[in-house]
Structure 1
């Protein structure tokens, strides 16, 4: 059993849930703050919704990653970097992967139903978007931005779960996530540039080359900071929120620097810097919310 759990964890790279989880939790914290000031905050109800949100987040991500691995089995089998994934080397069968994706999709829909009506209605288009990314690399260089959109749904989902609505600030936060993810996925895809050219895949590096990929990754990260700034502005953030975006900007600059210096630093930039970025930004948003409530 422990071995099977390890295989599934490797399949969906469970430890990377923090990429989307951090920004979903940011939206939840801000939404709870607004509910508190509106005198509609109920501790037991919010705790229940929070745990439902965690289940929804994990199941949605499991579906997205599992479905992507399912669709990419033919590609991953040929790629030296991915040929040892559980979806390819026989540790997880095709039937088991289909069952895994189906169960997680059903869990996500069911949990959304118990959160609120809008969450339930949005669960279906959200799953379609998550699945659509897996096909994009076969016909469009916009795949990197569809991945960004997929993770950008997380903060919108967090706001919907708490407020039953999609406030403007959650859209700004989501757009920031979209460009943040697209920016680092452009860098990450540089590792497969020769393979993508050989297989005729529509990755940005394969079509436009290394220099243009680095440039548009920087442009994407500029827009990430731009939209995060408007997110903070729209919630009338104080000093903690802007310290958070300052740290995030510094980490993005560091990420761009180490990759431009040596492409061998891509794994470090992707797995370390991005993981810390979301967590650090989340901590500052929590401090901002606590300070706003305490000094209100």
Structure 2
């Protein structure tokens, strides 16, 4: 039992399970908005299975694809695969199991979820290789998280509506913006090894300006989602907090100072997503919407 628990901890470490706080709250918020409250318990359960298994597949694939580069980068050399804490066969089985569980979950959700599943799995796989070809991989990562948001809405409504497309686009821009900030740590490594990112192409200062613009557009989209859906004080109160958090994130890395990047990247963005969910919950359960 101890060995099994230890193995589970390694898998959780590989996929950084704690970072589920980035994407899950936005997806759950979309679910609440689609249902005007809580959907049926079975729907909630299968949405959660799909979200967690999809994220496990995406992160596992990323670690598998990047294992050789991670070994060369001092910042990532202690990750599970470079450190040979898990075998490649184990990881392949983990990926197959995660993808299989995602397929099973979609079978219990509206038909559109299953029809769009190949697109989602394609994006989750493609992202892991994008840095080899383009500096715009940040946006593919954003698309991956946005598919979870749109998918949660579809899982409740069975259709894809305009308002959720605005929210999903906002998530693309939010994720791309913070991923650009985080990639600033690897400018020298990426340039040396032929990997692509906007910081490697534009330099730290210019890429941070791009990130600020993306986050401004993302914030506007989150506000616009509330207007499109006719939401009220609970949601827009959350929007105010999110605006302040994103502004503070950029204060933390102002002038290209990355000494506080972990705080900006992990803590602030986790607060952004959980604040979104809290605002939606306030609106849905306590507001007049």
Fold similarity call, TM over 0.5: yes
* 1:229 and 1:245 in contact (8 A); partners too: yes
Aligned: 1:7 with 2:10:
yes
Partner of 1:183: 177
- Identify the residue that residue 92 of structure 2 maps to in structure 1: 98
Q: CA deviation at 1:114?
A: 1.0
Unaligned ranges ≥5, structure 2: none
Moved over 4 A (4+): none
Q: How does 1:246-257 map to 2 (within 5 A)?
A: 246-257=240-251
Residue 214 (structure 1) aligns with? 208
Cα deviation for residue 281 of structure 1 reads 1.5
Tell me what 1:275 maps to.
270
Native 8 Å contact 1:109 1:124 kept in 2? no
- For residues 182 and 231 of structure 1, the distance between their equivalents in structure 2, rounded to whole angstroms, comes to 19
> 2:28 maps to what in 1?
25
CA distance in 2 between partners of 1:281 and 1:99 (Å)? 35
**TM value normalised by structure 2:** 0.96
Q: Deviations over 1:127-149 (max 9, x none)?
A: 10111111110010110011011
- Once residues 224 and 232 of structure 2 are traced to their aligned partners in structure 1, the CA distance between those partners, rounded to angstroms, is 13
Matches within 5 A, 1:138-149: 138-149=132-143
Equivalent of 2:260, from 247, 258, 265?
265
1:201-252 deviation digits (Å, cap 9, x = unpaired): 1111111101111100001101111111111111101111111111111000
RMSD of aligned residue pairs (Cα, Å): 1.2
Who is 1:66 aligned against? 60
Output the CA distance in 2 between the equivalents of 1:118 and 1:57. 16
Distance 1:216 1:126 in 2: 26
Match of 1:135 in 2: 129
How much has 1:155 moved relative to structure 2? 1.3
For the Cα contact (< 8 Å) 1:66–1:97, is it kept in 2? yes
SS at match of 1:229: helix
Q: Give the aligned length.
A: 285
Contact 1:67 1:134 in 2 (8 A): yes
Distance 1:167 1:26 in 2: 15
* TM-score, scaled relative to structure 1: 0.94
User: Does structure 2 retain, via aligned residues, the 8 Å contact 1:247–1:280?
Assistant: yes
CA-to-aligned-CA distance 1:21-47 (integer Å, 9 cap, x gap) = 0110111111111xx7xxxxxx8x711
- Is the aligned partner of 1:170 residue 2:167? no
Q: Equivalent residue of 2:231, what SS?
A: coil
State the shift of 1:275 in Å: 0.5
Deviation of 1:291 (Å):
2.9
